[in-house]
């Protein structure tokens, strides 16, 4: 009898404990169901959270001016009788005047200016990318005094190479950098050197000579790109290079089979950044300011800015399409 009483008490205590644990387990199951998020969706949520400051800033400070410039481009703007600005819809008259009658401050038609700027930017972007990658590889090499070399190399970039050039010009009393470069490369020195000692076509030799003459202006645009490439190089695991070395691969093979594929996403980012940066420093942006605020032709300036914005977007789409094709082709070959 005593044994039966003891067993009954144990069973009752077990059932009471189970009834007490049921709500707790139900709560934990509910929380698990609520927090049952896949890794991919959590990354998407994190991406949206990180993009929120940019989206808010774009909607507050960029969306309204873009909409206003598009409205002004289809309107004739005049000063109102009671102040402010009056708008009169005139269709595509501003766009027709922009490409038919108006010229730039230097006397160049805008169709020709757009063609020249697009060609210049498409040619200078790979030059800036190559030079930035070369500088990042040099700084990333292990040698004595690498920290001091990085400080010396990145200090003008942090301050701004344009600022350094202006300080040199002020301290020497003249534009020392441009004058020295112009004296060294004057009379087509690089052009003659390439034509006499290589078998390059004239167009390729002219492009290399022009890029060499503009070495300081191109180097001033490579600072941020060099830092991005350096971060990408340091993110590559050293085990990959060790395995390649064990397999007998030389430096050329490791560069094209390991470094470039691992930097494919970084290269896309650097190319897009350089592309947009060159467009921002284009003389077309100065012409927009000239028309809108100095000549008082707000409608023509707004039309020029709208065409310029569409041109940049179209070029970016072409560039991204080409880069995605190249990266996919490289991955399939690998």
Tell me the pLDDT of the chain (334 aa) as tens digits. 544 545 555 555 555 555 454 454 554 444 445 556 788 888 888 889 999 998 999 888 888 888 988 998 898 887 666 666 778 888 888 898 888 888 787 788 888 888 888 888 888 888 888 888 988 888 888 878 777 777 777 776 666 655 665 665 555 544 545 555 555 555 566 777 777 777 777 777 776 777 676 666 677 777 788 888 988 998 998 899 899 889 888 988 999 899 988 998 899 889 888 888 888 888 888 888 888 888 878 888 889 999 999 998 898 888 888 888 776 655 555 5
Between the CA of residue 83 and those of 194, 261, 281, 299, what are the distances in Å? 63, 60, 34, 18
CA distance 197 to 6: 106
CB 271 within 8 A of CB 319: yes
Tokens of 321: 């399409």
The predicted pLDDT at position 166 comes to: 63
CA distance 109 to 100: 8
Residues in Cβ contact with 94 at an 8 Å cutoff, skipping those fewer than 6 apart: 73, 74, 76, 299, 300, 302, 303
CA distance 193 to 205: 9
CA distance 70 to 52: 25
The predicted pLDDT at position 156 comes to: 63
The predicted pLDDT at position 32 comes to: 44
The predicted pLDDT at position 171 comes to: 57
The predicted pLDDT at position 50 comes to: 92
CB 184 within 8 A of CB 216: no
CB 50 within 8 A of CB 36: no
Which of 157, 158, 181 has the alpha carbon at shortest distance from 169? 181
């Amino acid at each position: 009898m005593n044994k039966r009483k003891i067993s009954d008490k144990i069973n009752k205590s077990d059932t009471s404990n189970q009834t007490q644990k049921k709500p707790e387990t139900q709560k934990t199951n509910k929380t698990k169901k609520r927090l049952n998020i896949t890794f991919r969706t959590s990354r998407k949520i994190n991406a949206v959270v990180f993009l929120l400051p940019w989206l808010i800033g774009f909607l507050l400070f960029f969306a309204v001016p873009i909409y206003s410039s598009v409205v002004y481009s289809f309107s004739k703007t005049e000063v109102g009788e009671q102040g402010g600005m009056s708008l009169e819809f005139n269709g595509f008259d501003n766009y027709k005047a922009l490409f038919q009658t108006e010229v730039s401050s230097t006397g160049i038609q805008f169709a020709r200016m757009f063609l020249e700027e697009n060609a210049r930017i498409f040619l200078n972007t790979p030059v800036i990318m190559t030079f930035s990658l070369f500088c990042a590889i040099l700084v990333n090499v292990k040698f004595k005094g690498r920290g001091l070399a990085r400080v010396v190399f990145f200090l003008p970039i942090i301050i701004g190479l344009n600022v350094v050039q202006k300080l040199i010009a002020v301290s020497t009393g003249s534009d020392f950098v441009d004058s020295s470069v112009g004296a060294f490369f004057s009379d087509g020195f690089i052009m003659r050197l390439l034509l006499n000692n290589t078998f390059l076509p004239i167009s390729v030799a002219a492009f290399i000579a022009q890029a060499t003459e503009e070495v300081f202006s191109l180097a001033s645009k490579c600072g941020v790109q060099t830092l991005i490439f350096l971060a990408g190089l340091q993110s590559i695991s050293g085990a990959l290079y060790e395995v390649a070395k064990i397999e007998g691969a030389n430096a050329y093979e490791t560069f094209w089979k390991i470094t470039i594929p691992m930097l494919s996403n970084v290269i896309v980012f650097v190319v897009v950044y350089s592309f947009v940066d060159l467009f921002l420093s284009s003389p077309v942006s100065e012409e927009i300011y000239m028309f809108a605020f100095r000549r008082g032709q707000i409608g023509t300036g707004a039309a020029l800015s709208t065409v310029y914005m569409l041109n940049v977007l179209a070029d970016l789409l072409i560039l991204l399409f080409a880069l995605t094709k190249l990266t996919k082709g490289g991955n399939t070959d690998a």
